[in-house]
Amino acid sequence: MRSLLAAEIGTRAAEGHIGPASRWFAGTRHIDEVESLCVELLKRLFRCNYAEHRLCASMIGNLAVYTALTRPGDTIMSLAQPVGGHSSNRVDGPAGVRGLRIVDIPVDPEELSVDLDAFSEVARAERPSLVALGASMTLFPYPVSEMAQVVADWGGKVFFDGAHQLGLIAGGQFQDPLREGAAVLTGSGGKTFCGPQSGVMVWDDESLTAPLGEAVFPTLAATHQVNRVAALAAATCELLAFAQPLMAQIVANARTLAVALDERGVPVLGSHRGYTETHQVIADVSSLGGGLEAAQRLARANIITNKNLLPWDRREDWDRPSGLRLGTTEVTRYGMGPAEMTEIAELIASVLVQHEAPESVAPRAKALRASFPYLGYCFD
């Protein structure tokens, strides 16, 4: 996959849709082959009718959805950042750029899921044309089917932004939004998909094909990095072969890591629900220096995390939130399992709870990583 990102084909322009009559340049037959292959592989992986491959980022996929399925001034509902929502579905992202009126989806901060009764009440009052389920902090599935049934009364649609869960969805380790009533699923080619940084968009309804396709080209993408498309196709092949065991181990590792952290004095959200059903672990480090300080101390110990808003934080706490977000995708691909998750928790607790100097922990973290030199769940 990485060699494909450096391929000569990436210097070639391929403006337009697949097929000689739809291209602005002649001589793109082999590019058409690469792109067609990528589309067909994505359709097979997600068991869907249509797929879009030209998006350079998942946020561009979200903008394509808003371009195709809304008009400026429409009302949508999306998740606020402190309860896991992402800026791409808020006023400071594509939804705001589109000129949409944004209403919060009610969330139960204890259960870390949509408050369905409150959602039904707000949605029936606001009648959103689109409901965006997009979260960068996501531990448990959402009630997609029930929400889709509510908004169907006035022709509204549910759009699932699976940027972080896309690989889990492909591997059958998370909910399947298209099967549960979502009109469109977008996501990242990176993160749990384990491919190049890029965007993916899939759907089943033929009537959405023209507006979504036209939102991509000519509106948002012209020459779209065919080398990245080739790498995305390769990553999709690998997921077709390895997604189920890889994603199952990623989730199992996340649960093991969460339990080990909690036992060592690093509080973790969702304990009463088994901590997580995804690749993510969310720690409350408000009593351990806060998210910014904790992430920076761990980085000095060669442990990379990111600061994260928690449900009780305010939007203005963005720079100094209460939480940390950890993910198990990369360590799992390198072959780490339950024993290593416990060791990682020990390293984290050494820095945050026992106040050991990060520089003294760093060699242990480096040695752990060095003992797993080979990337797995991929083709040789």
Tell which of 237, 269, 295 closes a domain. 237
Q: Which residues contact 69 (CB under 8 A, 6 or more apart)?
A: 129, 130, 157, 159, 183, 184, 208, 211
DSSP β-ladder status, 306-308 and 323-327 = antiparallel
Percent of the chain with pLDDT over 90: 84
Which helix (H) or strand (E) segment holds residue 284: the answer is: strand 280-284
Q: How far apart are CA 276 and CA 139, in angstroms?
A: 5
Tell which of 209, 237, 265 closes a domain. 237
Q: How far apart are CA 272 and CA 156, in angstroms?
A: 33
376 assigned to some structural domain: no
142 assigned to some structural domain: yes
Q: How far apart are CA 280 and CA 292, in angstroms?
A: 18
Q: How many helices (H) and strands (E) does the chain have?
A: 14, 12
Count of CB atoms situated within 10 Å of the CB of 71: 11
Residue given tokens 């979504």 in the structure block: 212
Q: 161 vs 12, which has greater pLDDT?
A: 161
CATH number of the CATH domain containing 227: 3.40.640.10
pLDDT higher than 90, residue 293: yes
Asked if 122 and 271 sit in the same domain, the reply is no
378 assigned to some structural domain: no
Tokens of 316: 């203005």
Please say whether the beta carbons of 41 and 243 come within 8 A: no
pLDDT higher than 90, residue 86: no
Q: How far apart are CA 89 and CA 62, in angstroms?
A: 8
Into how many domains does the chain fold?
Answer: 2
For the ranges 22-31, 85-94, 107-116, 151-160, the one whose mean pLDDT is highest = 151-160
Asked if 126 and 221 sit in the same domain, the reply is yes
33-54 pLDDT per residue, tens: 999 999 999 999 999 999 999 9
Domain that holds residue 175: 2-237
Report the pLDDT value the prediction gives residue 315, as an integer from 0 to 100.
78
Please say whether the beta carbons of 353 and 266 come within 8 A: yes
319-374 pLDDT per residue, tens: 999 999 999 999 999 999 999 999 999 999 999 999 999 999 999 999 999 999 99
With bands split at pLDDT 50, 70 and 90, how would you rate the model's confidence at 179?
A: very high
φ, ψ (nearest 5 deg) of residue 203: -160, 170
Report the pLDDT value the prediction gives residue 41, as an integer from 0 to 100.
98
Q: Which residues is 199 bridged to in the sheet?
A: 188
Asked if 267 and 332 sit in the same domain, the reply is yes
Asked if 105 and 196 sit in the same domain, the reply is yes
Q: How far apart are CA 321 and CA 81, in angstroms?
A: 11
Q: How far apart are CA 338 and CA 77, in angstroms?
A: 39
Asked if 341 and 224 sit in the same domain, the reply is no
Report the pLDDT value the prediction gives residue 21, as an integer from 0 to 100.
79
375 assigned to some structural domain: no
Report the pLDDT value the prediction gives residue 99, as an integer from 0 to 100.
95
pLDDT higher than 90, residue 299: yes
Tell which of 237, 252, 285 closes a domain. 237
Average pLDDT, the chain: 95
Report the pLDDT value the prediction gives residue 8, as an integer from 0 to 100.
81
Q: How far apart are CA 340 and CA 260, in angstroms?
A: 11
Report the pLDDT value the prediction gives residue 23, as an integer from 0 to 100.
81
Report the pLDDT value the prediction gives residue 222, as an integer from 0 to 100.
82
pLDDT higher than 90, residue 12: no
Report the pLDDT value the prediction gives residue 202, as an integer from 0 to 100.
98
Count of CB atoms situated within 10 Å of the CB of 357: 12
Lowest mean pLDDT among 3-17, 87-101, 290-304, 329-343: 3-17
Asked if 215 and 304 sit in the same domain, the reply is no
101-125 pLDDT per residue, tens: 999 999 999 899 999 999 999 999 9
Asked if 267 and 318 sit in the same domain, the reply is yes
Q: How far apart are CA 259 and CA 257, in angstroms?
A: 6
190 assigned to some structural domain: yes
Rounded to 10°, the helix 338-352/358-370 angle is 170
Asked if 247 and 304 sit in the same domain, the reply is yes
216-257 pLDDT per residue, tens: 999 998 888 899 999 999 999 999 999 999 999 999 999 999
Asked if 343 and 284 sit in the same domain, the reply is yes
Report the pLDDT value the prediction gives residue 351, as an integer from 0 to 100.
98
